[in-house]
Structure 1
């Protein structure tokens, strides 16, 4: 209300701001404890835009890049450095330690939602930022300063000032567009964010005392104190300018601490390097203590340096800050806590290498297959194991183009790219609307590539206003402007193009997902019913417990399937002989019929990389796409009895397709639920955590089968 009284904003603008605050307050309370959000996006790669699913998961605090059910990349929230809002539907996600993601949303609404969610991710990161990097200032995620400012926006035709509510938070500047010239413009992009934490941001005052600019790596933002303030309170203009500039400069300086620390670590030695010359006499007890001490030192160093959580396997790892380790005895790191006492061994006992498997928690044993396993029933040739895996006392070494003369109303850059596309677009502007009523390409409709390109060059609200106010002859315009004018005249153009593209892609997506989901169902059923695989696991449990008992470690009742990948890593006396070879020998000696256990798991011969988490996200997105198609049908349905025959035919075809896809998607959804239920039972059976993704578990089993066959070929003559 004070803004309205001071004539800083209209009544409509004030209501718009109030609604934003209610929305933000509500979401900020619930969003971070919500589940996950799936969006179709296009990622620029290999000179073309590739369709992906962007999943923002607030449960695991991870962002996933999914393609056809396969998790291509995953980034912890802490790796997200910023988000840049660019032209039209495009935006970029900025990461620590890797290249930016240049993405394109399928709609402006999706783009606004994604940017809002990413702003919450950044806000949660700033709340968790170490206090020591902020020069004693407590970490917070509240608004430091806010106010109304005009932001200059340039186009080829003109320059205009757009009113924004600007909010300065720790590490970011959030811009809420509330209109042009003080008038409410609901169609304008709602929010954009300027990242101030990159270390490459500068703030400067411009000519006069009413404007200042913010320079980032890729953008230049020119702000000014609104004209209403300049006319009503001229004495406050310079004060407001100085306040904004000083706060922005301070925010940029505070946020440079972590990045400078990270940069200064480039080329420094890692913590492990300081221990490379550290030799100790080997006994198993000392070996464990040394290993524990090394990892403890690394952990404490990483904590002190504010290290990021370790990314998933296959991801790019950001550089960690290096901290010099003490070299003198007086500065030695504190001793690690005492380890549990191992089983006592007689001096004459033959000691073996330990198998460091991942143990199933006790609370999961009873409901799992391990509850009924009896490894004592399995006969083992102990002498062969002792021969290969007995250890000796040794020393350990620890280390590790438009016409130049014709004026074009459209933005120069957009016009140049649009003109290149139009050279291969053999359709007249007047024919465009008619083409939108033809669903299938073979019936004379637009191609998928043409639809995708037209969506990319959709006119913005400002373009619509500019072109619809044109009073001259259309034939006098450049071909780029002729097409843009025609596009501005077509009602619900964006929804029509989205509808056509969805109708083309939906059957293909269902067709691609169906065999992948069926394969996961069959794989789960085979793993659930295979008795031979369980018997092989009992042999592994018996062998591992025997080795660990001789090594002075406790025996366990069950191990996680991730331990299967460690079998080929434990080598015997002969370098080519591993624990996996020992397993094959024992099975061939006592139960040779178990060698063929993989015949009960044929679906694991060539397991696709598709993940159940990814497949579920794909099905979820398809449901949303079909809902959007239904909404578009209601929106485009003729409201009068004067509809043309073409419009009626279009509506009839659309209704039939919706019914068809609704049935197919319903069946696919049921299969997806069955897949998730079966996999949940698998996790219980083998004592695995419920959050474990199938891509990991099925990968362990598939890799084990492949390695087991190789070992069989090497053991048998």
Structure 2
């Protein structure tokens, strides 16, 4: 969508000013909408109106032609079905239930104590690998030896950097130290150990994350493409625009040029005068009787059902998180000094990885 055009005055109050011309400058060749004057008051379709100044040149509503469906019999039937001779109850808008956010349990390492030492001992026992070999694997980013569980456990059980620095002072007393302390002495020589491990873990998980997200992104992109190209769905939108403008005559939502697609959910909330049917039922009956070709939109939207199960919020959240991780890796690589240890291949290998994974898939 484009932002409101500069210099466009605010819309006049409902009904306009008596005898005054329209002061809107309509973009993209749009013409003023017809003003309907039903003989009876009707229930309203509470849609989310889109102003012309909020539309882009390629927007569907620029070319929508709901006038093709104007019919006196249709309007008479609509007025009879949704007459509001007595004050009707306002439609209750269901509050969208937010999915509970999943909080990851992150156990932060504290000051080295017996419990931390015990957990570290359990980790070291599960891998049964010489400490110098673990150090080499980390320095060389040895992908044949590195595993996701190994790095996750290291991140989880390693003492804080301050404790590693303190353990480094006991290098000369190495043989007298306990196994967890000996491990700490060996790992203390690896500069910026925790950032390294986090970056390597992100590298290992990246492809899996992309593979998990790609089907959702493809489904959403395909569904959006089908919605744009479906002529039957376009006709359905035009028909709803006509019905809504007729029902909303005289209100602030009248003479609308377009509406948010989420407004289609309001069709089932707009009850008939006898409370036995809804505007959605009315629309389906009209299409079956007069415009059966409109109902073919169901065949055009093959991916919409799959895409509807995708949480756009969670999808965007995951993509933003991966982007932040890529940016953090970039910052880490810029701050890493040239390694003095020839074994240290972190900067070289992770720079290649950053360039390889710098582009993420995005929904359209």
* TM-score, scaled relative to structure 2: 0.68
2:137 maps to which residue?
Answer: 435
2:52 counterpart (362, 372, 377): 362
Higher mean Cα deviation, 621-630 or 586-595?
621-630
What secondary structure sits across from 2:142 in the alignment?
A: coil
CA distance in 1, matches of 2:301, 2:211: 25
* Structure 1 equivalent of residue 263 of structure 2: 563
Q: Give the C-alpha shift of residue 471 in structure 1.
A: 6.3
2:152 paired residue number: 452
Change (3 A) 1:571 1:397: closer
Question: How does 1:92-241 map onto structure 2 within 5 Å?
Answer: none
1:361-420 CA distances to partner (integer Å, 9 max, x unpaired)?
1323583332332322114523432332122326869999xxxxxxxx933554354345
Structure 2 unmatched runs, 5+: 1-12, 17-34, 94-110
Take 1:633 and 1:393, find their aligned partners in 2: how far apart are those partners? Answer: 74
Q: Secondary structure at the match of 2:248?
A: helix
Query: Is 1:350 the equivalent of 2:350?
Result: no
Corresponding residue for residue 603 of structure 1: 303
Unaligned runs of 5+ in 1: 1-338, 401-408, 680-717
Contact 1:352 1:551 in 2 (8 A): no
Cα separation, partners in 2 of 1:345 and 1:540, compared to 1, 3 Å: closer
Q: Describe the superposition over 1:636-663 as per-residue Cα deviations: whole angstroms up to 9, x where unpaired.
A: 4x66xxx5xxx49x689x65x8657734
The answer as to 2:85 corresponding to 1:392 is yes
> How far apart are the structure 2 equivalents of 1:553 and 1:490?
66
Corresponding residue for residue 372 of structure 1 = 63
The change in CA–CA distance for 1:446 and 1:660 in structure 2 (over 3 A counts) is closer
Cα offset for 1:486? 2.1
Shift of 1:455: 1.9
Alignment of 1:582-621 (within 5 A): 582-607=282-307, 608-611=310-313, 613-614=316-317, 616-618=319-321, 620-621=323-324
Deviations 1:227-275 (A, max 9, x none): xxxxxxxxxxxxxxxxxxxxxxxxxxxxxxxxxxxxxxxxxxxxxxxxx
Aligned length: 310
| Counterpart check, 1:464 vs 2:164 | yes
Matches of 1:396 and 1:527 in 2, distance apart?
33
1 CA distance for matches of 2:252 and 2:133? 82
Deviations 1:510-530 (A, max 9, x none): 333444444443333333333
Instruction: Choose the corresponding residue for 1:410, options 103, 112, 122.
Output: 112
The 3 A distance-change label for structure 1 pair 399 and 364 is: closer
Q: 1:634: Cα distance to partner?
A: 7.2
Quote how far apart the aligned CAs of 1:502 are. 3.1
Taking a change above 3 Å as real, the CA distance of residues 533 and 635 of structure 1, as seen in their structure-2 partners, is farther
* Alpha-carbon distance in 2 for matches of 1:556, 1:432: 67
Q: Distance in 1 between matches of 2:353 and 2:177?
A: 44
Question: Secondary structure in 1 aligned to 2:126?
Answer: coil
Change in CA separation of 1:550 and 1:410 when aligned onto 2, cut-off 3 Å:
closer
Moved more, 351-360 or 414-423: 414-423
Q: How does 1:332-347 map to 2 (within 5 A)?
A: 340=14
Contact persistence 1:344–1:552 (CA under 8 A): no
TM-score, scaled to structure 1: 0.38
Contact 2:219 2:306 survives alignment (8 Å): no
> Per-residue deviation at 1:566?
0.8
Alpha-carbon distance between aligned partners in 1 of 2:230 and 2:125, rounded to the nearest angstrom: 61
Q: Map 1:413-424 to 2 at 5 A.
A: 414-424=116-126
Q: Is the 8 A contact 1:633 1:651 kept in 2?
A: no
In 2: Cα distance, 1:515 partner to 1:501 partner: 23
Residue 624 of structure 1, aligned match among 324, 327, 349: 327
CA shift at 1:574, angstroms?
4.9
Residue 586 of structure 1 and its aligned partner are, at CA, apart by 1.5
Partner Cα distance (2:84, 2:141) in 1: 76
Q: Is the 8 A contact 1:345 1:552 kept in 2?
A: no
Q: 1:548 — aligned with what?
A: 248
Pick from 533, 537, 541 the counterpart of residue 237 of structure 2. Answer: 537
Q: Relative to total residues, which structure has the larger helix share, 1 or 2?
A: 2
Q: Tell me, in whole angstroms, the C-alpha distance in 2 between the residues paired with 1:399 and 1:370.
A: 27
Q: CA RMSD in A?
A: 4.0
Greater strand share, structure number: 1
Q: Does the 8 A contact of 2:326 with 2:354 survive in 1?
A: no
- Shift in alpha-carbon separation, 1:344–1:563, aligned structure 2, 3 A: closer
